Structures are given as structure tokens and as C-alpha cells.
Structure 1
Amino acid sequence: MGYTLMIVFAVAAHYAFLAFGIFGGFLAWRWPRLIWLQVAAALWLLVIVVAKLYCPLTWLQDRGREGLGLPPLQGGFLDNYAAGIFYPHGYEWVAQIVVAVLVVISWTGFVLLQRRHRLGKLDARGDAADHHLV
């Protein structure tokens, strides 16, 4: 049962990390301090995909499979749990473009919201200063 839980944890953590890496910028619109975690997550996803690195969560999942007497999965998490489910096999490049566009939109929105927030604070200070002059 321990190895099964290890596999379940690794797969769930993969999904959670992937979701945060893609959509976390939108969460930062509400909770701005999250942006730095999301940037780190998005960069890690980029490095893993571009450099074709072996993810530590995939390693953990393979150890769990090994403990159950199963062979490691061929390919990584995206090959086994995203391709064919979230996008058709063979269309990874389309999925990567969509993900990149989502991340850029979320970051752009974050910057615009932060700018609007700062300008609102400056206007509030200016209004308060003008009020004291009257």
C-alpha cells in the first residue's frame, strides 16, 4: 500500500505543479506574492520540457512502481498523463504554444493590475494632499 500511495502522491503532485505552473499567474492577480513561485514553476516546466530532463516526481513514481514489481513508465509524466487526455498525441507543440500563451497572458495581466494598483495609490495620495490644501 505504501508504494501505491507513493505513486498516487507523485501523480497528484505532478498535476498540481503543472496546473500551478500554467495557471498560477492568474492566481497572482488575486494574491500578488504568488507571482514569484509561479515564475519559478513556469521556468522549471520550461527547463524540463526544453532540456528533456528527468523530473524528480517521475523518479519518485518510478520507485513506487519498482516497489510494486512494475516497470518504470516509458516517457515522462506528460507522455503518460497529459498526451491523449488534454491534447492529442503528436500535438505537443500545439499544447506548448497554448501553455506559453496562457502564461504570457497571466503575466501581462498581473503587470497591468499591479500598475493600476500603484497608480490608484498615487491618485489616492494626491487626492489626500489636495484635500489638506483646501
Structure 2
Amino acid sequence: MVTHFVVIAYIALGGFLAWRWPRLIWPHLGFAAWGLVQITGLVECPLTWLENWGRAHAGANGLKPGGFIDTYIEGVVYPAEYVGLVRWLVIGLIVVSWAWVLRAQLGRPQRSTA
């Protein structure tokens, strides 16, 4: 469960870490792409599968059909009717963070290879 929270937080806010550590933009691109795939619902998240496996072996019920977000976040952190708005806000956060990283990279002096 903690790993799920960390991954979701990194998807939403990881681009801002790249403001300080620019090389983090590359793993963030991968995580953000994975987040985009996940919201389409075409593929189950391996963390959801792993959590359901652990819950089953502990004798507990699995996550709701929508996975981690539907179980722990939607309707708890924000009302369920705002799912679309929250998704667009997260996408906006990602785009702003990437734009800032790009702006910073374009403004840096080029290193000499000589």
C-alpha cells in the first residue's frame, strides 16, 4: 500500500523533483506514461496484482475492481464525482513541471566537449 502511494505521488509530482535533479525527468517520463496507460483501464497495475495477492494470502479481501485508487483515494481524498477533474489537474501538474524542466534546460549554457 505504501509503495502504491509513493508511485502515485511520484507520477503526480515527480516532475517537480527534476527541477532540482534534472536527470529524474527520464524515470518520471516512464512513470507518467505508465500512469496514462493505467487510467485507460486497459492493463492492471502490477502493484495492484501484488497487493491483491498479499491480501489473499493474509485472508483479506482484495481491492475494489478499480484497484488502489478506487479503494483508498477516490471518495476518500476527493469525492468520486470529481475523478475527471482530478485527472486533468494531475496532467496539468505534470505538464507544468515538464515545461519548467525544459525551460531550465534550454536556458543552461552548453558544455564544451573539447
Question: Could you state the TM-score of these two structures normalised by the residue count of structure 2?
Answer: 0.89
User: Hey, which bits of structure 1, 4+ residues long, moved more than 4 A?
Assistant: none
Per the alignment, residue 77 of structure 2 pairs with 86
Number of residues paired by the alignment?
111
Question: Aligned partners of 1:95, 1:53: CA distance in 2, in Å?
Answer: 20
* 1: CA distance, partners of 2:102 / 2:3: 28
More moved, 99-108 vs 85-94: 85-94
1:42 to 14, 27, 32: 32
Q: Which residue of 1 aligns with 2:13?
A: 23
Note the residue ranges of structure 1 that are not aligned, 5 or more in a row: 1-10, 126-134
Which deviates further from its counterpart, 67-76 or 20-29?
A: 67-76
2:55 partner letter? R
Partners of 2:42 and 2:90 in 1: CA distance = 17
What does residue range 61-80 of structure 1 map to in structure 2 within 5 Å? Answer: 61-75=51-65, 76-80=67-71
Please state how far the C-alpha of 1:90 moved relative to its aligned partner: 2.2
User: Paired residue for 1:99, among 72, 75, 90?
Assistant: 90
Bigger Cα Rg: 1
The SS at the match of 1:90 is helix
Q: Which amino acid aligns with 1:40?
A: G
Asked which structure has the greater RCO (Cα within 8 Å, sep 6+), the reply is 2
Which structure shows the bigger proportion of residues in helix conformation? Answer: 1
How far, CA to CA, are the matches of 1:35 and 1:63 in structure 2? 32
Query: Which ranges of structure 2 fall in alignment gaps of 5 or more residues?
Result: none
State the AA in 2 paired with 1:77.
Answer: F
Measured against aligned partners, the alpha-carbon deviations of 1:34-85 in whole angstroms (never above 9, x if no partner) come to: 0000000000000011134211111111111111212212220110111123
TM-score, length-normalised on structure 1? Answer: 0.77
